Amino acid sequence: MIVKDVMPNFDLFQPKQLKDAFAILDKFGKDAWKMAGGNDSLAWFKDRAKRPKVVVDISGIAELKGVKETSDGGIEIGALTTLTELSKNPIVRAKYRVLADAASKVASPQIRNTGTLGGNAAQDARCWYYRYGLPCYRAGGNTCFADTPEGVNREHALFDTDRCVTVNPSDTAPALVALDAKFVVRGSKGERVLSAEQFFIGPKIDITHLTSIKPEEILVSIRIPKDWAGARFYFEKAAERNSWDFAMVNVAAAIVVSNGVVERSRIVCGAVSATPKRLPAVEDSIKGKALGDDIAKVAGQTATRGARPLNYNKYKIPLMANLVTRAVRDATA
When pLDDT is cut at 50, 70 and 90, the band that residue 5 belongs to is: low
pLDDT at position 153 is 97
Average pLDDT over residues 196-202: 96
pLDDT in tens, 162-189: 899 999 999 999 999 999 999 999 999 9
pLDDT at 140 over 80: yes
When pLDDT is cut at 50, 70 and 90, the band that residue 44 belongs to is: confident
When pLDDT is cut at 50, 70 and 90, the band that residue 21 belongs to is: very high
Is 74 in contact with 223 (CB distance < 8 Å)?
yes
pLDDT in tens, 63-91: 999 999 999 999 999 999 999 999 999 99
Is 271 in contact with 197 (CB distance < 8 Å)?
no
Q: Which of 3, 5, 2, 61 is nearest to 37 (CA)?
A: 61
Q: What is the pTM of this model?
A: 0.96
What is the spatial distance between Cα 332 and Cα 78, in angstroms, rounded to a whole number?
A: 27
When pLDDT is cut at 50, 70 and 90, the band that residue 2 belongs to is: low
Angle made by CA atoms 103, 36, 8, in degrees to the nearest 5: 130
The set of residues, in sequence order, having a beta carbon less than 8 Å from that of 242 and lying 6+ positions away, is none
Q: Measured on CA atoms in the order 185, 106, 87, 282, is the torsion positive or negative?
A: positive
When pLDDT is cut at 50, 70 and 90, the band that residue 1 belongs to is: very low
**Domains, the chain, with CATH or none:** 9-58 (3.30.43.10), 229-330 (3.30.390.50)
- What 8-state DSSP symbol labels residue 73? S
Least confident segment among 1-5, 151-155, 291-295, 304-308: 1-5
Strand partners, 270: 250
pLDDT at 16 over 50: yes
Strand partners, 262: 257
pLDDT in tens, 94-105: 999 999 999 999
- How much of the chain exceeds pLDDT 70, in percent? 98
